[in-house]
Structure 1
Amino acid sequence: MATLQKIRNRAGLLIIVVGVALLAFIIGDGLRSGSSILQNNKNVALNIDGEKVKFEDYQQLLSDRTEQYEQQGKLTERDRVEIGNQLAQELIAIHAIEQEAETIGLKVTPAEVSALVFGEGLPASPLAIQFFSQIGAGDPQQIRQLLNQLDINNIKTLPADQQGMMLKVRSKWIETEKQIHTQRLSEKLNALLTRSYAINSLDEKYTTGLGSRTVAVVRTPSTILPNDQITVTDQQVKEYYESHKQAYAIPYEQAKVNYFSVQIRPSEADYAKAKADVDSARIQLLAATDPAKVVRNYDNGNAYEMYFTDQDLEQYLATIPNAMTLLREGAIGSVNEPVIVNDSYKLIKLVDRKQAPEGVKVNVIALDSINAPKADSLIAAIQSGTATVAQVAATYSMDERTKANGGYVVIPDNYTGMPDSTLSESQLFGMGLDTLVNTPINQFVKIEAPSGTILARRTEPTASVNHYKIAELTVPVTFSEKTFQAAHTKVNEIFLSEKSFDQMLDDAQAAGLSVIRGEYINSTMPELATVPNSREVVRWAFNSKANKVSDKIFNCGSNDYLVVAQVEKKYPAGYLPLEQVSDRVRDIVLMEQRGDKLASTLAGKQLKSLESYATEMQSSVDTLYNISFVTSPSTPSALVGKAMTTTIGQLSAPFRAGTEVVVVQPISENVDATVTQPSPAATAQKRRSYGQQMAGRALEELFRQTSFKDTRYRVL
Structure 2
Amino acid sequence: MATLQKIRSKGPLLLIVIGIALLAFILGDAWRLIRPNQGVQYIGSIDGKKISAMDFQNELESYSEVVRFSTGLQDFTEEQNNQIKDEVWSVMVRRTIIEKETEAIGLKVTDAEIREIIAQGTDPILQNTPFNDEEGRFDVDYLMTFLAVYNDLDQSMMSAQDMRQYDALYRYWLYIEDNIKSNLLYSKYISLVTAGLVPNPVAAKNSYETRVKRNDVLMASIPYSSVADSTVKVTAADIKKAYMENKELLFNYTENRDIYYIDVPIYPSTADSEALLAEMQELTVQLEEAPDDTDFASLLRRAESEITYSDVPRSAATLPEDVVERLDSVGSNGMFGPYYNPFDDSYNSFRLFGTSMGYDSIQFSVIQVATGNQEEDIRISDSITAAAKRGASFQELAARYMQSGQPEWLPAEAYEPASITGDNALYLNRLNSMKKGEIANVRLTGGNLVFKVDDVRNSVKKYDMAIIKRQIQFSDETSNKAYNELSMFVASNTTLDDLKKNAEDSDYQLLYYPGFESYMYNVGDVPRTHEALRWLFEAGEGEVSRIFEAGSANDHLMVVAVDKINPQGYRPIEDAASALNRKVLNEKKFETLKSRFDGAASIDELANVQGINIDTILYANFNNPAYLSSSVNNEATVGPAISILEKDVMTKPMKGEYCIYVAQKLTEDNYPTEYDDEAERARILSIDSRQIANSLLQELYFQANIEDTRYKIF
Shorter chain as denominator, the TM-score bin is 0.7 to 0.9
- Letter in structure 1 aligned against 2:46: I
Residues 1:466 and 2:461 aligned together: yes
Gap change, CA 1:393 and 1:625, over 3 Å in 2: farther
Residues 1:606 and 2:602 aligned together: no
Within 1, Cα distance between the matches of 2:214 and 2:494?
Answer: 70
Q: What is the TM-score with the length of structure 2 in the denominator? A: 0.75
User: Residue 461 of structure 1: CA displacement?
Assistant: 3.7
Q: 1:284 aligns with which of 280, 283, 286?
A: 286
Q: Secondary structure of the equivalent of 2:466? A: strand
Q: 1:684 aligns with which of 662, 678, 681?
A: 678
Residues 1:309 and 2:315 aligned together: yes
Q: Secondary structure of the equivalent of 1:587? A: helix
Gap change, CA 1:112 and 1:157, over 3 Å in 2: farther
Q: CA RMSD in A?
A: 5.0
Q: 2:265 aligns with which of 260, 263, 266?
A: 263
Within 1, Cα distance between the matches of 2:49 and 2:241?
Answer: 36
Q: Secondary structure of the equivalent of 2:129? A: helix
Gap change, CA 1:141 and 1:292, over 3 Å in 2: same
- Letter in structure 2 aligned against 1:312: T
Output aligned runs, 1:465-484, within 5 Å. Answer: 465-484=460-479
Gap change, CA 1:485 and 1:609, over 3 Å in 2: closer
Q: Percent identity?
A: 20
Within 1, Cα distance between the matches of 2:467 and 2:208?
Answer: 67
Aligned to 1:709: 707
Q: Deviations over 1:319-373 (max 9, x none)?
A: x3xx32321342122223320534432333323223455x34515478999xx99
Q: Deviations over 1:88-139 (max 9, x none)?
A: 122222334444544565543212323444xx344476448625579xx996
Gap change, CA 1:642 and 1:127, over 3 Å in 2: closer
- Letter in structure 2 aligned against 1:221: P
User: Residue 647 of structure 1: CA displacement?
Assistant: 3.8
Q: Deviations over 1:22-42 (max 9, x none)?
A: 99994477657x99xx76x7x
Q: 1:699 aligns with which of 684, 693, 701?
A: 693
Gap change, CA 1:159 and 1:25, over 3 Å in 2: closer
Gap change, CA 1:266 and 1:193, over 3 Å in 2: same
User: Residue 160 of structure 1: CA displacement?
Assistant: 12
Q: Secondary structure of the equivalent of 2:510? A: strand
User: Residue 536 of structure 1: CA displacement?
Assistant: 0.8
Gap change, CA 1:593 and 1:652, over 3 Å in 2: same
- Letter in structure 1 aligned against 2:49: E
- Letter in structure 1 aligned against 2:590: G
- Letter in structure 2 aligned against 1:90: V
8 Å CA contact 1:195, 1:691 repeated in 2: no
Within 1, Cα distance between the matches of 2:603 and 2:493?
Answer: 69
- Letter in structure 2 aligned against 1:130: T
Q: 1:441 aligns with which of 436, 441, 446?
A: 436
Which stretch has the larger CA shift, 662-671 or 205-214? 205-214
Q: Deviations over 1:633-667 (max 9, x none)?
A: 76745322332323444333222233232222334
Residues 1:503 and 2:498 aligned together: yes
Q: Secondary structure of the equivalent of 2:432? A: helix
Within 2, Cα distance between the matches of 1:193 and 1:352?
Answer: 70
Q: Secondary structure of the equivalent of 2:464? A: strand
Gap change, CA 1:242 and 1:368, over 3 Å in 2: farther
8 Å CA contact 1:257, 1:518 repeated in 2: yes
Aligned to 2:92: 91
- Letter in structure 2 aligned against 1:641: P
User: Residue 593 of structure 1: CA displacement?
Assistant: 3.1
Aligned to 1:4: none
8 Å CA contact 1:220, 1:618 repeated in 2: yes
Which stretch has the larger CA shift, 46-55 or 445-454? 445-454
- Letter in structure 1 aligned against 2:109: V
Aligned to 1:485: 480
User: Residue 546 of structure 1: CA displacement?
Assistant: 2.9
Output aligned runs, 1:312-327, within 5 Å. Answer: 312-313=318-319, 316-317=320-321, 320=322, 323-327=323-327
Which stretch has the larger CA shift, 528-537 or 269-278? 528-537
Aligned to 2:548: 554
- Letter in structure 2 aligned against 1:109: T
Q: Secondary structure of the equivalent of 2:437? A: coil
Aligned to 2:21: none
Q: Secondary structure of the equivalent of 1:274? A: helix
Q: Secondary structure of the equivalent of 1:47? A: strand
User: Residue 626 of structure 1: CA displacement?
Assistant: 4.8
Within 2, Cα distance between the matches of 1:124 and 1:601?
Answer: 60
8 Å CA contact 2:437, 2:455 repeated in 1: yes
Gap change, CA 1:583 and 1:75, over 3 Å in 2: farther
Output aligned runs, 1:632-647, within 5 Å. Answer: 636-647=635-646
Within 1, Cα distance between the matches of 2:583 and 2:164?
Answer: 60
Aligned to 1:409: 409
Within 2, Cα distance between the matches of 1:132 and 1:59?
Answer: 26
Within 2, Cα distance between the matches of 1:617 and 1:394?
Answer: 85
Within 1, Cα distance between the matches of 2:358 and 2:483?
Answer: 55
8 Å CA contact 1:24, 1:62 repeated in 2: no
Aligned to 1:588: 583
User: Residue 542 of structure 1: CA displacement?
Assistant: 0.9
Gap change, CA 1:440 and 1:530, over 3 Å in 2: closer
- Letter in structure 1 aligned against 2:227: L
Q: 1:346 aligns with which of 335, 345, 348?
A: 348
Within 2, Cα distance between the matches of 1:52 and 1:541?
Answer: 22
Output aligned runs, 1:65-80, within 5 Å. Answer: 65-66=63-64, 72=73, 74-75=75-76, 77-80=78-81
8 Å CA contact 2:358, 2:433 repeated in 1: no
8 Å CA contact 1:446, 1:456 repeated in 2: no
Aligned to 2:331: 331
Residues 1:217 and 2:216 aligned together: no
Aligned to 1:202: 202
Q: Deviations over 1:361-392 (max 9, x none)?
A: 515478999xx9999899978986x9899x99
Which stretch has the larger CA shift, 205-214 or 696-705? 205-214
User: Residue 424 of structure 1: CA displacement?
Assistant: 9.5
Q: Secondary structure of the equivalent of 1:546? A: coil
8 Å CA contact 1:256, 1:569 repeated in 2: yes
- Letter in structure 2 aligned against 1:284: Q
What is the number of equivalent residue pairs in this alignment? 652
- Letter in structure 2 aligned against 1:589: V
Aligned to 1:228: 230
Q: Secondary structure of the equivalent of 2:519? A: coil
Gap change, CA 1:231 and 1:24, over 3 Å in 2: farther
Q: Deviations over 1:473-509 (max 9, x none)?
A: 2323333333333333333334445954533665655
- Letter in structure 1 aligned against 2:523: L
Gap change, CA 1:656 and 1:439, over 3 Å in 2: same
Gap change, CA 1:235 and 1:366, over 3 Å in 2: farther
Within 1, Cα distance between the matches of 2:418 and 2:554?
Answer: 35
Q: Deviations over 1:135-182 (max 9, x none)?
A: xx996566445434655x978988997988766655444333212222
User: Residue 533 of structure 1: CA displacement?
Assistant: 1.9
8 Å CA contact 1:539, 1:714 repeated in 2: yes
User: Residue 460 of structure 1: CA displacement?
Assistant: 4.6
Q: Deviations over 1:599-638 (max 9, x none)?
A: x2124x3123321212215456555455554556767453
Within 2, Cα distance between the matches of 1:580 and 1:76?
Answer: 36
Which structure 1 residue ranges, 5 or more long, are not aligned? 1-21, 415-422
8 Å CA contact 1:23, 1:83 repeated in 2: no
Residues 1:540 and 2:541 aligned together: no
User: Residue 425 of structure 1: CA displacement?
Assistant: 7.1
8 Å CA contact 2:361, 2:409 repeated in 1: no
Within 2, Cα distance between the matches of 1:601 and 1:159?
Answer: 87
Gap change, CA 1:29 and 1:575, over 3 Å in 2: farther
Gap change, CA 1:207 and 1:455, over 3 Å in 2: farther
Q: Secondary structure of the equivalent of 2:521? A: coil
Q: 1:296 aligns with which of 278, 301, 304?
A: 301
Aligned to 2:660: 661
Q: Deviations over 1:509-562 (max 9, x none)?
A: 544344346655211121221644212111112123333343x43222222333
Output aligned runs, 1:375-454, within 5 Å. Answer: 407=407, 409=409, 435-445=430-440
Within 2, Cα distance between the matches of 1:74 and 1:442?
Answer: 35
Within 2, Cα distance between the matches of 1:356 and 1:498?
Answer: 63
